[in-house]
Amino acid sequence: MTTENSRSEFEGPVKSPFTPKQVEDLRSWLTHYPYPMMGLLEAMRRVQEWRRCVTREDEAFLAQLFQTTPTHIHEVATFYPHFTAEPAGRHRVGLCRGVSCRLKGSEEMARYLEQKLGVKDGGTTPDGKVGFETMECLGACDCAPALQVDDELQGEATRKAVDGLVSRLIRD
């Protein structure tokens, strides 16, 4: 059964919040894979890269482009931690909070990172340079507690590694 709500989600053209070149890029994901919907995640990754977040306005436009509902896009955006509703830091530091990493001191290391960066878990430095978040298993349990920066695994989070990393990111 179609409800008033779901019907209205498809109605009317949504004004693009993107540049024509960006729209062209997003459109290219419709034909990149055998089925248009297979390109959705890549298109959303582009939006996250450009704007450092995926807003509700972006979701509405993507829904129109991929011929789905804004609710569907929002579900995808909130399922994957990669997508953020608010602008993420230019660099994103992730520390694993999975069981293996907790056993190897990730909670203590998270407090250390918060102290070094001056932000809480999920926060971004006031200059927008660095965001910090704890994450589920990064698939690198052999180097627990695992640390990553911008989707790139950095290895074991020791105080020394964190010190070096933070000063590099702050300087960048």
Binding of residue 149 to ligand FES (CB under 6 A): no
Query: Out of 26, 40, 93, 96, which residue is the one contacting ligand FES (CB under 6 A)?
Result: 96
Strand 91-96 relative to strand 152-156: parallel, antiparallel, unpaired? Answer: unpaired
Nearer to ligand FES, 26 or 113 (CB): 113
Q: Can you spell out the DSSP letters for 20-48?
A: HHHHHHHHHTTTTSSSGGGGHHHHHHHHH
Residue at shortest CB range from ligand FES: 98
| Size of residue set near ligand FES by CB under 6 A | 12
Contact characters 21-50, ligand FES, x per CB under 6 A: ------------------------------
Q: Which is nearer to ligand FES, 47 or 95 (CB)?
A: 95
Identify the residue among 16, 68, 100, 158 touching ligand FES (CB under 6 A). Answer: 100
Considering beta carbons, is residue 73 or 110 the nearer one to ligand FES?
A: 110
Helix/strand/coil percent split, the chain, to 5? 50, 15, 40
139 to each of 124, 127, 163, how far by Cα in Å?
24, 31, 23
Order of strands, edge to edge, in the sheet holding 91-96?
A: 130-135, 91-96, 146-149, 152-156
Q: Where in 125-144 is the site for ligand FES (CB under 6 A)? A: 137-141, 144
